Copies of this chain bind each other. A is one copy, B any other.
Amino acid sequence: MRRVSADHHHHSTLDPDRLARQGFPEVVFCEGKTEVQIIENLAQLARANGRALGSRLDAKRAGAVAAALPEASYDALSRTITVGDPPPQPAPDAPAVAVVCAGTSDLPVAGEAAATLEFLGHPVRRIHDVGVAGIHRLDARFDEIRTAAVTIVVAGMEGALPSVIGGLVGAPVIAVPTSVGYGASFHGLAALLGMLNSCAAGLTVVNIDNGFGAAMAAQRILRSIQTATKP
Measured CB to CB, the residues of A under 8 A from B are: 1-7, 10-13, 15, 18, 21-24, 27, 31-33, 37, 59, 62-63, 66-67, 69-78, 95, 102-105, 107, 111, 128-129, 131-135, 137, 149-150, 157-160, 163-164, 166-174, 177, 179-210, 212-213, 215-221, 223-225, 227-229
Q: How near does chain B come to A16, taking the closest CB pair, in angstroms?
A: 11
**Contact status B76-A164, CB under 8 Å:** no
**Contact status B224-A197, CB under 8 Å:** no
A56 to chain B: closest residue by CB: B182
**Contact status B209-A135, CB under 8 Å:** no
Count of identical protomers in the assembly: 8
Q: How near does chain B come to A158, taking the closest CB pair, in angstroms?
A: 4
Given contact pairs A129-B13, A149-B228, A200-B132, A75 touches B159 in the complex (Cβ within 8 A) = no
Q: Looking at the complex, which one of B169, B190, B203 makes contact with A206 (CB distance below 8 Å)? A: B203
Q: How near does chain B come to A200, taking the closest CB pair, in angstroms?
A: 4
Q: How near does chain B come to A123, taking the closest CB pair, in angstroms?
A: 14
Q: How near does chain B come to A55, taking the closest CB pair, in angstroms?
A: 10
**Contact status A199-B149, CB under 8 Å:** no
Given contact pairs A2-B72, A132-B163, A184 touches B208 in the complex (Cβ within 8 A) = yes
**Contact status B199-A133, CB under 8 Å:** yes
